[in-house]
């Protein structure tokens, strides 16, 4: 179990370390858009959509990494004071009854839309935009798969924490 959890951790770590560069590129692109618009008086829709694509990529594909480093928002008024075994039990419950079902449903319901989008090579969101909406829609199943993979790693670690305390 530990080896599989480490494998999923490495995947999300690699993806997280890659998509973090989207933030820098996004800032530079947005700066360029502002300079072009207010200094030179020109605007390109595909550049504005580029910011949208980068932002979407950063957040959708970076979500698994955020789960890996325990960076998601958590209201832990009581959780922070709990013992390790109790935390593992709560996390286990959350993964099994909230995380996995929601990601599986999202994957199930989004897949047909992504499939159709790829089959017609769906074009830009706006006239003059990036002609690759199918790539943007593909982030949804990518998000689900990365969250599920990291959720499995967390689940295995929760089970190991429960076994450690029981032994």
pLDDT at residue 155 in the model = 97
Per-residue pLDDT at 28? 98
CA distances from 63 to 56, 66, 84, 103, 117 (A): 11, 5, 24, 12, 23
Percent of the chain with pLDDT over 70: 98
Tell which phi-psi region holds residue 41, choosing left (phi > 0), alpha (psi between -120 and 50) or beta: left
Rounded average pLDDT over 33-52: 97
**What is the reported pLDDT for 77?**
84
Token readout for 11 is 């995947």
pLDDT at residue 134, as a whole number: 97
Check residue 1 and give its pLDDT. Answer: 87
**Where residue 166 falls among pLDDT bands split at 50, 70, 90?**
low
Q: What is the pLDDT of residue 76?
A: 79
43-78 CB burial, b ≥16 within 10 A, e <16: eeeebbbbbebbebbbebbbbbbbbbeeeeeeeeee
pTM higher than 0.85: yes
Model confidence band, residue 24 (pLDDT cutoffs 50, 70, 90): very high
Interval 48-64 mean pLDDT: 98
Q: Looking at residues 124-153, what average pLDDT do you find? A: 97
């Amino acid at each position: 179990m530990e080896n599989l959890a480490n494998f999923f951790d490495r995947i999300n770590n690699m993806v997280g370390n890659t998509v973090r560069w989207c933030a820098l590129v996004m800032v530079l692109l947005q700066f360029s858009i502002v300079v072009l618009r207010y200094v030179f008086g020109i605007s390109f829709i595909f550049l504005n959509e580029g910011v949208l694509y980068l932002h979407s990529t950063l957040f959708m594909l970076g979500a698994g990494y955020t789960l890996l480093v325990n960076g998601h928002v958590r209201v832990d008024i009581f959780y922070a004071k709990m013992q390790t075994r109790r935390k593992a039990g709560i996390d286990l419950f959350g993964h099994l009854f909230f995380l996995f079902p929601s990601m599986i449903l999202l994957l199930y319901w989004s897949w047909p839309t992504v499939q159709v989008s790829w089959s017609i090579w769906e074009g830009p969101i706006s006239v003059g935009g990036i002609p690759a909406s199918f790539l943007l829609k593909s982030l949804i199943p990518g998000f689900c798969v990365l969250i599920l993979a990291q959720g499995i790693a967390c689940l295995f670690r929760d089970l190991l924490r429960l076994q450690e305390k029981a032994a």
